[in-house]
Amino acid sequence: MNQEIKPKSGQAIIDHLGIAVPSLADALDFYERILGLRISGFETIAQEKTNVALLPLGDSRIELLEPTEPDSPVGRFLSKRGPGLHHICLRVPDLAATIARLQLNGVRLINAEPGTGAGGHRYVFVHPSSAGGVLLELVEEH
């Protein structure tokens, strides 16, 4: 019995999975040619020193993340851990209210002031020490 699970109003949902790769060209060979996914676009996030390839998957997407400089967050991740899952991103209905709730509960944020990321989303990152060892990005619904 296949039933589509719809999020309740005001509930967070998965927006995207961020995957760190040393080369977008090499990664896209696998995701496009072998898996058959199609790119919806490319972006450069200057403040994160990262090039991004966007691959839609239903209501979510995969973001392939390539560092533009070795000292970028993705570059440091690759040098420590190698390619792989970098972060999970949740879409929330009210980012400001979510940030306030997290801070009230002592959750460690990497950036308490929202930045602007791929697709123009406003975002913050929750430190892995507060999220069960996972880097968690929160973005606001458009």
Interval 106-128: pLDDT, tens: 999 999 899 888 778 899 999 99
In a domain, 3, yes or no: no
pLDDT in the model for residue 8: 55
Number of domains the chain is built from: 1
In a domain, 111, yes or no: yes
In a domain, 8, yes or no: no
Residue percentage of the chain with pLDDT more than 70: 94
pLDDT in the model for residue 119: 77
In a domain, 59, yes or no: yes
How would residue 3 be classed by pLDDT, with cut points 50, 70 and 90? very low
Smallest Cα–Cα separation from 140: which of 98, 88, 85?
A: 98
Residues 6+ apart with CB under 8 A from 122: 95, 114, 115, 116, 139, 140
In a domain, 5, yes or no: no
Which helix (H) or strand (E) covers residue 24, if one does?
helix 24-28
Domain that holds residue 132: 13-140
pLDDT in the model for residue 117: 82
In a domain, 89, yes or no: yes
The enclosing domain of 83 has a CATH number of: 3.10.180.10
